[in-house]
Chain A
Amino acid sequence: MNSFSGQRRLTVAVLTALALATSATACGSGLGGTGTKAADSGTYTVWDPYPQFAGDSAWTKLLDDCGGKAGVKIKRTAFDTSDLSNKVLLAAQQDNSPDVLIVDNPVVPTLAEAGVLTTTDDNKLDTSEVDPNLLGAGRSGGKTYGTPIGVNTLALYYNKDVLEIAGVDIASVRDWTSLTAALAKVKKAGKKGITFSAIGTEEGSFQFLPWFWGSGAKLTRLDSPQGVSALSLWTDWLKQGHAPNSVINNTQTTSWQEFASGDYAFAENGTWQLANAEDVGFDYGVLPVPGADGGTAAAPTGGEFVTVPVQSDTGRYTTTRKLVSCLTGAANLYTTDTTLSYLAPTSEVRDKQMAADAKFKPWAEAVKAAKGRTSGDLGTKYPKISEQMWKAIQSALSGSKSPKDALTAAQRAAN
């Protein structure tokens, strides 16, 4: 019996060693795979967050054209936005980064902090044409880590039919007081006021920012009187029934569905809904989010940056630069942004877009006032602040804390 168990122990040891050896070789062949990629200099990998564009879409064709011009083949992989940053971190860990990475702008400082991205000093991308307020999202520690491929932002969509029934003149909506007054009129007329997304994710913070910035508050101090006034505006809307309680759980998509039902006077939503807006079956208009005392509030910029991840084979950067310039150079930017239904990050191309289609006009205005979420050297501090901000929004809107207490707690936790 004794010798049997001794034997068994030995066998286990041997098997373990075998398994470890096998897994080690598995890792080895994995690394070998990376090596083949580097050696196969004719194929360049592009990762983007546009799974909605299939292999036969205009976007894929554009990528292939650019690859053709640079004399290389493009291997494109599309990821879900929320998935992409972790995939990139993992790939970088294994020295297997894509050649071109198109990534949501607030993620850029995080990836830059991780040492995944090259600066424009290294990759020699030309960003001189891009509006500085839009380039800001891709800057961290005084360096720039890419160039925006296109931008979108938030504004207020309004339903002309509902406003007419309620007797609201949209020209009278200039600041928060007049907006709230308009909502009261809409409610009196038996219609619903405004819908937005206040969900407990980055989306909620994104939607709150135009109001937060419009009050004059700064992200470095969440619990300033201005910040509290912005959160109180939302909370009061909920209390008075100007906004539905469901906003606490609304994503921007579900919020849009509420607006598309035709009952709501206003909806805060993004440029990307323009195509859907044509199908809602009622007359709509677009108004930049007003500031607390009038003017246009700064809305956060959405949209992706084209970045060039660090490669062990630095010789690849030359071709990569050709690819990126092809996508974002003045000549092609119009095609790219029309393909992606974004606004261009340069005023020259935006003018061209407005000339082609007047519906871009209010958006161009909103983009001019827009601000990157990580701008102002917030960089990797932003994710922490944003998480506390959406928690505060949720606490205040659900009534578990007053706006002031919620933001005070958020400020304490963000530091």
Chain B
Amino acid sequence: MSHTTHLPDRRAVPDRDEAAGAAPDRTTPRRRAHSRHWTAWAFLAPAALYLLLFYAYPLYRNLDLSLRDYTVRSFVRGDAPFTGLANYQTVFDDPTFAPALAHTTAFAAVSLLFQYAIGLALAVFFNEHFRLSATLRALFLVPWLLPLIVSASTWSWMLNSDSGIVNAALNAVGIDSVNWLTSPSWSLTSVIIANIWIGVPFNLVVLYSGLQSIPSSLYEAAALDGAGAWRRFRSITLPLLRPVSAITLLLGLIYTLKVFDIIWIMTKGGPADSSTTFATWSYRLGFGNLLPAFGPGAAVGNLLIVAALGFGLMHLRVQRKQYAS
């Protein structure tokens, strides 16, 4: 913020004390500091207001929804009784809870692992400059640019049991058809595959830019010392890429936890809840039925937020430790 406070001053000044000395007016430094804070807050106000209106208030509303017993009637009248954690109890006792937790964990873990591994491999590959490298890299971004409804619908056509191209290809090489989206043992795998495909470009871009910042002199020195490609990757690339990797994985995790569109379009969380995650479950409770259950739906949503927040805090701690050491 000190940056903003300096804006009214004509010339760039490195710090506060110098600024006070540079402007020759008679107000006491105390008052000047005072008014400068107000200027600072005035600059901050739009952002703060925005955050309050569009982040804090919806979060508060969602918390409120999850702590009251909402029926359609009390939703309209706004007189839903406060029931404490009853909705959370309902959610925990629901037979869908354990499978949804398992699916969410598996979905996030497997997606992240493959997205990161493939993304890193591609980033290292494109870091070697060769002809068409830039063009190819741009092409790899396509999954990222497509609207999710398009990519998810395309995946569900390709994986269709009877007329999908994937099964046609399998049949052509003599393998039996797989009911990708309609068999309880395959549906989760199918949505994970689609999600990996969508997530790879993000990992590629971020890791690639991370690679660019590693000085090539390190590699040259290592090569002179006789380190092979694998050794250079393990001893230079991976350790120096660690901060970038951490943020990539964290952002990827938060994104993956809330993935909803792909699953909903491809399987609706089915068949028989076999690909239901917290995100789809929350939606189904709140909107997937003619009679909405807003309370439990909001409760599931809040659990997701808490999980993402937990991982975010963990990241901050790890990062602080890294800086401290």
Contact = CB atoms under 8 A, between A and B. Distances in A.
Given A248-B270, A395-B271, A398-B184, A19 B73 contact: no
A380 B291 contact: yes
Interface in B180-217: 181-184
Nearest to A83: B287
Contact of A86 (B156, B162, B182, B287): B287
Nearest to B290: A383
B76 A115 contact: yes
Given A8-B37, A15-B45, A202-B290, A110 B272 contact: no
A395 B44 CA distance: 54
Contacts of A15: 41, 44-45, 48
Given A22-B49, A89-B76, A398 B163 contact: no
A46 B152 CA distance: 34
Contacts of A258: 162-163
Q: Which of B38, B57, B72, B268 has the most CB of A within 10 A?
A: B72
Contacts of A183: none
A391 B95 CA distance: 13
A383 B293 CA distance: 11
B73 A394 contact: no
A19 B49 contact: yes
Interface string B132-161: 000000000000000000000000100011
A397 interface: yes
A288 interface: no
Contacts of A391: 270, 272-273
A395 B73 CA distance: 32
A136 interface: no
Interface string B257-299: 0000000000111111110000000000001111110000000
Interface string A228-264: 0000000000000000111011000000001000000
B14 interface: no
B77 A115 contact: yes
B16 to A, nearest CB: 11
Interface string A382-415: 1110110001001101111100000000000100
- A116, A199, A246, A249 — most chain B CB neighbours (10 Å): A249
What secondary structure prevails in chain A residues at the interface with B?
helix
Contacts of A16: 52
Given A245-B161, A246-B182, A391-B272, A111 B267 contact: no
Contacts of B271: 200, 248-249, 394-395, 397-398, 400
A263 B142 CA distance: 35
A249 B184 contact: no
A106 B267 CA distance: 24
B162 A394 contact: no
A116 B76 contact: yes
B179 interface: yes
Given A201-B268, A399-B183, A114 B52 contact: no
B181 A249 contact: yes
A391 B179 CA distance: 18
Interface string B50-63: 00110001000000
A338 interface: no
A189 B178 CA distance: 25
A113 interface: yes
A391 B96 CA distance: 12
A386 to B, nearest CB: 7
Interface residues of B, number: 44
Given A22-B49, A86-B287, A387-B289, A245 B182 contact: yes
Contacts of A400: 184, 271-272, 274
Interface in B93-123: 95
Interface residues of A, number: 50
B154 to A, nearest CB: 14
A108 to B, nearest CB: 10
A85 interface: yes
A23 interface: yes
B48 to A, nearest CB: 6
B290 A110 contact: yes
A107 interface: yes
Interface in B9-52: 33-34, 37-38, 41, 44-45, 48-49, 52
B8 interface: no
A15 B182 CA distance: 54
A23 B291 contact: no
B270 A246 contact: no
A110 B290 CA distance: 8
B178 to A, nearest CB: 10
Interface string B72-92: 110111100000000000000
A92 interface: yes
A11 interface: yes
B34 A7 contact: yes
Contact of B272 (A86, A246, A384, A401): A401
Contacts of A401: 272
A395 B272 contact: yes
Interface in A8-44: 8, 11, 15-16, 18-20, 22-23
A341 B202 CA distance: 47
B292 A86 contact: yes
A93 interface: yes
Given A200-B270, A400-B272, A244 B49 contact: no
A387 B273 CA distance: 12
Nearest to A251: B268
Given A93-B75, A110-B290, A394-B271, A7 B45 contact: no
Contacts of B181: 248-249
Contacts of B48: 15, 19
Contacts of B272: 391, 394-395, 398, 400-401
A200 B37 contact: no
Top 8 closest A-B pairs, CB basis?
A383-B291, A114-B72, A398-B271, A248-B182, A383-B290, A200-B270, A395-B272, A394-B271
Given A15-B44, A18-B49, A386-B289, 10 more contacts: A16-B52, A85-B290, A86-B292, A89-B72, A89-B76, A113-B72, A114-B71, A383-B291, A398-B184, A400-B184
9 contacts: A15-B48, A107-B290, A110-B72, A114-B71, A199-B268, A200-B269, A245-B179, A394-B271, A394-B272
